[in-house]
Amino acid sequence: MDKIEHIGIAVKDLETSNTLFEKLLGVPHYKIEEVASEGVKTSFFKSGPNKIELLEATNPDSPIAKYLEKKGEGIHHIAFAVEDIVSEIERMKGEGFVVLNETPKKGADNKLVAFLHPKGTNGVLVELCQEIKEG
């Protein structure tokens, strides 16, 4: 894994949280994107070399809606950048981690993503992210 790609934070209201994080970080969000397949609307902030992703549920059956219902607002996941997500998924499985989606799927911010089950990672949902290369 190369670096922490971003930290994902589940929020109830994206507009309210965007205002809060603009004040906190001193910069506006640089992107809002909906990932319909996951039932989520995201907003991204940059703070130095780091990124924060705010996640709002767009339907009551989405993973974020269920997370908010169970745990409330807060840190949802930590994402790590990888060069080759398919190889990294195989490596994680070989190390005994439970991969929630063995085939990478398209996520927000031009990424292919896969998640590791938090029961095997000290309660932290871990996301693997690979930049989608054009061409």
| Alpha carbon separation from 25 to 12, 28, 83, 116 (Å, rounded) | 19, 8, 28, 29
- Amino acid at the residue 115: F
Q: How far apart are CA 64 and CA 124, in angstroms?
A: 15
DSSP H or E segment with residue 96: none
Query: Nearest-5° angle of CA 86, CA 66, CA 33?
Result: 60
Provide the β-strand partners of residue 47: 50
Torsions phi, psi for 64 (to 5 deg)? -70, -40
Question: Distance between alpha carbon 11 and the CA centroid of its chain, in Å?
Answer: 13
Q: What is the mean pLDDT of the chain?
A: 94
pTM: 0.90
Categorize the per-residue pLDDT at 135 as very low, low, confident or very high, splitting at 50, 70 and 90. low
CB 59 within 8 A of CB 39: yes
- Amino acid at the residue 117: H
Note the pLDDT of residue 37.
87
pLDDT in tens, 90-115: 999 999 999 999 899 998 888 999 99
Joined together, the tokens standing for residue 15 give 């507009």
Provide the β-strand partners of residue 126: 78, 116
